[in-house]
Structure 1
Amino acid sequence: MKNDLFIRAAFSQPTERPPVWMMRQAGRFMKEYWDIKNRYSFLEMCKTPEIAADVTMLPVDLLGVDAAILFSDILVTAEAMGGQLSFEQGVGPRFANPVRNRADAEALQVDVVDKLQYVAGAIQVIQQRLQGRIPLIGFAGAPFTVLSYLVEGGSSKDFKRTKLLLHNEPELAHMILQKIADVTVDYLNMQIAAGVNALQLFDSWALALAWDDYKRFAHHYNAYIFSKLAREGVPVISFCKGSSVFAPIMAEAGPDVVSVDWNADLRMVKDSLPQGMAVQGNLDPFVLYADKRVIKERILHLFDGMRGQNGFIFNLGHGIMPDIPFDNVKYAIEVVKEFSY
């Protein structure tokens, strides 16, 4: 690989500078994304390998990032399991048939990897276009986060239905979570076989959970997934909102990298993790709205704190917001690429 900075950092090997990529880097803050999005539905974009590859390549060609991430969605596994998924403008994902009882849960299918072959097709097209320039990151939604969408029927502010399920019917919750975990193992191993160079597990809504509930209903299944992956040579990143709280137990699940939100001091998190475990993060995405001098100051301050550390991937604490100026994102990446240890 011509640029293996990201892979080396993920395996805590020495690098000349921190590698940079950004969550949601192929997205709504780019005019070129909208040029494509205005012609197709979101699910059409995900399910058409050539279009998914077009979107994946946008930040590679326009921003010069050190890693590409597959254009897809964390909920494609839930759709394959039987969820009737749609995306509404300004609302987000919706499931027309939310999981509300045991019969709904029993109806969820687990032998579904054939339904997700369009993702393997996209990976193959992307790798043909990358031609070994930089690594390609594949991903999936973590079981708790996928469960929350299936149970709530979409996004939620309070996760009331999800928490009632965990508290009142824990056995049913575990049955659903195990099904999602088994599908996720098959799905991520399919991505490895198709040619991804790294993986990230997104537990986007883990912050909704109390510590003990996180251990029972999130950590247990994430650890199960990591243990079942054919991951030799393929680094695995664990991400959740709440990683500033859950980082110690996230590390116990056995990822190669813990992706840290912006609420924590990154060096303190790094020092608390097992030797040889990398960190990713953790600039507050809202900094990218600020003046360029502020963007530079904040990035360099973060780098000062990580000086002398192997195993550091620069990223945001979460994804880029859709109205962040493209020029600010490009400038931030330039600042990272000009830095050297």
Structure 2
Amino acid sequence: MNNNSLFIRAAKSELTERPPVWMMRQAGRFMKEYWDIKNKYSFLEMCKTPELAADVTMLPVDLLDIDAAILFSDILVTAEAMGGDLSFTQGVGPKFSNPVRTEADINRLQTGVNDKLQYVADAIKVIQQRLGGKIPLIGFAGAPFTVMSYLVEGGSSKDFKLTKLMLHNQPELAHQLLSKIAEVTIDYLNLQIAAGVNAVQIFDSWALALAWDDYKEFSHYYINKIISGLNRADIPVISFCKGSSVFAPLMAEAKPDVISIDWNVDLLDIKRRLPAGIAVQGNLDPHVLYADKKVIKERIHRLFERMRGEPGFIFNLGHGIMPDIPFDNVKYAIEVIKEFKY
């Protein structure tokens, strides 16, 4: 992969002729072609079969002409490798049939599980062959707090009640669990780097559930540990959380190359409050992609004009694409971005 790509240059805080574009959940349920594959295989089969993972990863490359591909996988593969009994049900989402709630449950979880995640390294090699150096490939992992919340709740949660109860009543237990997840995550991201990804992103999807002090103690501390443990020579590290508009100053202390920002804040304002040399990614509200095309264009141009002259800006959504956003609108948004020139 040549380091001259728009995405890598922007991630390294350089000024690019236009903002590079990729979108979280860009290889997914809003595409008919995704469903053509999904209707034949289970979600986990797709993740664990390198050729299928490569097929899905390549969909937005071939159909949308984006500036970076992101590995098709799931943030919970680490939890499964550690011993979580994971299943995905249509309309329900992920479920762990053996939730982690006691010290004995935590002790049962394994570390040193990269052999169980080898299918991800295999997928990366297939994808890189198919990309042929045309655009960078982003690898990723779930942040410890987010992965912990699924393990403790046994699946998705609206209020994270059991997880927060562990943080508040048994903080030492929470730290024991988070330490194990962090250790696995460092190994896992280094596995991806060794297999050939060109950048990595850490997803803390549920950080917004936390109060500032809890975020600092139970999330930021471990993300800092993970980023410090990466073999990151020339591999940009992106830190994302829902709530980044609040937590960005803390996130910056872990020294990522890029902070991915949600849509609740003015992007230029937050970038100027971050240390020099940290790029920003974001921050269009994904709901804009439901709107009329003239609105989509106007909102993208408004963001780009706001960021004019700022080095280190990657266009993305403030969170992932929703499954029922019209494919045509996503395609149009990317055309608008690619036609834009500073």
Q: TM-score if structure 1 supplies the norm length?
A: 0.99
Structure 1 SS opposite 2:203: strand
Alignment match, 1:182: 183
- For 1:284-323, list aligned pairs within 5 A: 284-323=285-324
Distance in 1 (alpha carbons) for counterparts of 2:254 and 2:276: 15
Could you tell me how far 1:13 is from its partner in structure 2?
1.3
- Structure 2 residue runs of 5 or longer lacking an equivalent are none
Listed one character per residue, the Cα deviations across residues 159-196 of structure 1 (whole Å, up to 9, x for unaligned) are 00000000000000000000000000000000000000
Distance in 2 (alpha carbons) for counterparts of 1:170 and 1:204: 21
Alignment match, 2:134: 133
Alignment match, 1:56: 57
- For 1:276-287, list aligned pairs within 5 A: 276-287=277-288
Structure 1 SS opposite 2:192: helix
Alignment match, 2:209: 208
Alignment match, 2:156: 155
Structure 2 SS opposite 1:262: coil
Structure 2 SS opposite 1:314: strand
Alignment match, 1:36: 37
Distance in 2 (alpha carbons) for counterparts of 1:272 and 1:14: 18
Alignment match, 1:225: 226
Could you tell me how far 1:14 is from its partner in structure 2?
2.2
Query: Identity percentage over the alignment?
Result: 79
Structure 1 SS opposite 2:282: strand
Distance in 2 (alpha carbons) for counterparts of 1:254 and 1:175: 24
Q: Which amino acid in the other structure matches residue 45 of structure 1?
A: M
Distance in 2 (alpha carbons) for counterparts of 1:114 and 1:210: 36
Distance in 1 (alpha carbons) for counterparts of 2:15 and 2:147: 35
Could you tell me how far 1:100 is from its partner in structure 2?
1.1
Alignment match, 1:46: 47
Distance in 2 (alpha carbons) for counterparts of 1:307 and 1:60: 26
- Structure 1 residue runs of 5 or longer lacking an equivalent are none
Structure 1 SS opposite 2:337: helix
Alignment match, 1:92: 93
Distance in 2 (alpha carbons) for counterparts of 1:282 and 1:173: 31
Alignment match, 2:259: 258
Distance in 2 (alpha carbons) for counterparts of 1:84 and 1:264: 38
Distance in 1 (alpha carbons) for counterparts of 2:20 and 2:199: 14
Are residue 337 (structure 1) and residue 338 (structure 2) matched?
A: yes
Distance in 1 (alpha carbons) for counterparts of 2:7 and 2:32: 27
Q: Which amino acid in the other structure matches residue 57 of structure 2?
A: T
Q: Which amino acid in the other structure matches residue 223 of structure 1?
A: N
Alignment match, 1:270: 271
Q: Which amino acid in the other structure matches residue 107 of structure 1?
A: R
Distance in 1 (alpha carbons) for counterparts of 2:234 and 2:46: 29
Distance in 1 (alpha carbons) for counterparts of 2:321 and 2:255: 27
Alignment RMSD, CA only? 0.6
Alignment match, 2:20: 19
Q: Which amino acid in the other structure matches residue 232 of structure 2?
A: R
Alignment match, 2:113: 112
Q: TM-score if structure 2 supplies the norm length?
A: 0.99
Q: Which amino acid in the other structure matches residue 266 of structure 1?
A: L
Are residue 246 (structure 1) and residue 247 (structure 2) matched?
A: yes
Distance in 2 (alpha carbons) for counterparts of 1:264 and 1:105: 38
Distance in 1 (alpha carbons) for counterparts of 2:35 and 2:271: 37
Q: Which moved more, 1:68-77 or 1:8-17?
A: 8-17
Contact 2:15/2:309 (<8 A) preserved = no
Alignment match, 1:102: 103
Could you tell me how far 1:78 is from its partner in structure 2?
0.1
Distance in 2 (alpha carbons) for counterparts of 1:273 and 1:335: 28
- In the comparison of the two structures, how many residue pairs are matched? 341
Contact 2:20/2:67 (<8 A) preserved = yes
Could you tell me how far 1:322 is from its partner in structure 2?
0.4
Alignment match, 2:143: 142
Distance in 1 (alpha carbons) for counterparts of 2:111 and 2:226: 14
Could you tell me how far 1:40 is from its partner in structure 2?
0.0
Distance in 2 (alpha carbons) for counterparts of 1:264 and 1:73: 27
Alignment match, 1:328: 329
